[in-house]
Amino acid sequence: MSAVIIDGKAVAARVRADVARDVAEFRAATGLQPGLATVLVGDDPASAVYIGGKRKACVEAGMADLHQHLPADTAQDEVAALLDSLAADPAVSGILLQLPVPRGLDGSALVGRIPPGKDVDGLTTASVGLLSRGEPGLRPCTPSGILELLDAYEVALEGASAVVVGRSELVGRPVAQLLVDRNATVTICHSRTRDLAAVCRGADVLVVAAGKQAIIGADAVKPGATVIDVGMHRTEAGLCGDVDFDAVREVAGKLTPVPGGVGPMTIAMLLRNTLLAARAAAGQDVNS
C-alpha cells in the first residue's frame, strides 16, 4: 500500500489563513499592525524571488511590508546600522536578513545584531540558546513547519524513535531539538554515520535534510514510518528531494512530496513568528 502523501500546501494555507484572522483581531484590539522588515543586500536573482514571496505573503496576511533593499557594495557597518535602526523601530515586529549576503560581508555577525524578540528566522545565537534550553522564543521556520506537518497528520511523537539526517544549523539541529522537546528519542545522522540505512530503518519518524539527492531509498525506511523530505534539487526532470520518492512511497506510512511538502511551510511559519513577535511586544500572552 502506498504512503499517505502529506499535503504541505494545504497545511500552509490553513496556517496562513489562521495568521490572517489573528492579525485582524490583533489590529482591532490594539490598533497596531505587525510589520515585517525583510532586508536584501545585492541583486541575487534567487534571493529576490524568495524575498518577493515573503513580502507578498506578509501583505496578504494584513501585515506591513517594511522591505529594505541595499546595493551589493554596501559596507558591513552600513548594513549593521540599518539592522540596528530596525531593531529600535517599534513599527518593526520582525527582521529577516536574506542569506547569503554578498561576498565581503559577514552574514553571521549581521544576523547576530537582530534582537531575539524580532528574530523571526530564529537563527541568532540567542534564539538558538533559548531553543536548546527549552525556553520561550521564536523558532526557526522550516523546523517548526515540520512539526506543524507532523501534528496536522496526527503523527505520534511522544516516545517515538526519530532519526534526523543532517546536522545543519538551519534545519537538522533545531528540528532534532524540537523533536526532543516533544519527548521523541532522537538520533542525528550525518556524512560520517556508519551504515546510514540501518540507523534510519529504526525510525518511526525520519527527517531527511542532508542536501544530497536521493540519499534515502526504500532500504532505509521502516515499513509504515513517517518520512519528511527537506531536500530540494533541480534536475532535468524537475524538482526532487533527498528521498527517492517513488521507491519510498511503497514502504512509508506517510511521506512529504517535493515540491509541495515542507517548502510551503517556511513562509507560513515566518508569518506566524512575526505575529507572535508583535503580540509579545504589545504585552500579550503569545500562548493565548
Q: Report, as residue numbers or ranges, the catalytic residues.
A: 54, 98, 121
- Which residues face 119 on adjacent strands? 95
| Residue type present at position 250 | E
Burial of 254 (0-12, 13-18, 19+ CB in 10 A): buried
Helix H or strand E encompassing 164: strand 161-165
Query: Dihedral sign, CA of 120, 66, 261, 107?
Result: negative
Tallying the residues shown for the chain, one arrives at 288
Q: Where are the alpha helices (DSSP H) in the chain?
A: 8-30, 45-60, 76-88, 107-111, 125-132, 141-152, 172-181, 196-200, 245-248, 263-281
Residue 190 has a CB neighbour count (10 Å cut-off) of 13
